[in-house]
Amino acid sequence: MDDEAATHALLVFGLSLFVGPAIGALVGWRKKLFWGVGVGALLIGCAGLYGAATVGWQRYQSIADTVLVEGNLVEFVEERSKDDKGRTTTTRAPIVEYTASDGQVRRVKGLGGGLSDKGPGDAVDVRYKPADPAQALVADFQNMWGIVWGLGLFGGFPTMFGLFFTGMAIKEGRPSSNAWEKEPEATPAQKRWRTCGTVLANVVFLAGFAVCFLYPDEDSGKGLGAGFMTIGAGALLHLVVQSFPPAMAFESRSILGIVGLGFIAFGYGAWMMM
């Protein structure tokens, strides 16, 4: 379902990978490096977010007209694909059997690598269109929302970096003040709050690495996802602590925010895919 919307979104994003750096290089040559990097990254990021929004909306509309039924995993089939360098990649795609309202048994193939934690005979949710029961998809996160998450991820990161470098360019272009201003010193109470907050953020950050290896589940993907989200939470907690007055420089806090959101996004995807 929604193959046309997905193809269009991937085409737009693919073109942005060429157009963004080209326009960014031109802007950087005419103005300054920060402007070029910021504009180029924003073009790529906006293309990715546009794709995520359009595919997500189309998928939401198409799923609203479907019926959820319980199917059964029949088998895995091997799928081989070659990249532009001729290297072959093999994945196992699940085949799921389901019975529509007309009583006819049909099969649908999921995305390669999906349902890796299940075996033949296990129950698997399927969504199909009542008007055309042959139009169906496996109702897990990867098959329904995987491409939306992927485009959002590849769009969100360049957008954040684009905003960061654009902000740096704007700051660089402002006239510098000749007046020497002494940075305010932290009060004893502020120092205590910042110390306690930093210790707590470090504990959360380090706990994320422990969760990756000690998560009580045989599925390593769940542990990796939980650990990455915990690490991201630690980075965002550092961002909050370093925003207490007197705050850390905006550039450094922005990096903490980008790292935190990035780890949470990757962790959420890993958790939901498994």
In sequence order, the β-bridge partners of residue 67 are: 128
Of the listed ranges 59-73, 108-122, 169-183, the one predicted with least confidence? 169-183
Question: What local confidence, expressed as pLDDT, does residue 180 receive?
Answer: 52
Q: Is the pLDDT of residue 52 over 90?
A: yes
pLDDT at position 20 is 93
| pLDDT for 28 beyond 70 | yes
User: Across-strand partners of 96?
Assistant: 73, 108
Pick 185 or 166 by higher pLDDT.
166
The answer to whether residue 178 scores a pLDDT higher than 60 is: no
Give yes or no for residue 113 having a pLDDT over 80: no
Could you tell me which residues are beta bridge partners of residue 127?
68, 137
Please tell me the predicted confidence (pLDDT) of residue 172: 79
pLDDT at 272 over 90: no
Whether the CB-CB separation of 138 and 116 falls below 8 Å is answered with no
Three-state DSSP at 83 gives coil
Confidence of residue 69 (pLDDT cuts 50, 70, 90): very high
Q: What is the mean pLDDT of residues 70-76?
A: 92
Contacting residues for 253 by C-beta, under 8 A, at least 6 apart: 239, 242, 243, 247
* pLDDT value, residue 1: 60
What is the model's pLDDT at position 187? 83
Fold of the 67-143 domain: OB fold (Dihydrolipoamide Acetyltransferase, E2P) (2.40.50)
What mean pLDDT value characterizes the chain? 87
Ranges of each domain in the chain = 67-143, 186-274
Pairing assessment for the beta strands 88-99 and 123-129 based on DSSP bridges:
unpaired
- Work out the pLDDT band at 24, boundaries 50, 70, 90: very high
Residue 182: band (very low, low, confident or very high) from pLDDT cuts 50, 70, 90 = low
Band of residue 200 on the pLDDT scale cut at 50, 70, 90: very high
pLDDT-above-70 percentage for the chain: 92
* Six token digits for residue 88: 């072959």
Please check the confidence at residue 83 and state whether its pLDDT lies above 70. Answer: no
Parallel/antiparallel/unpaired status of strands 67-82 and 123-129: antiparallel
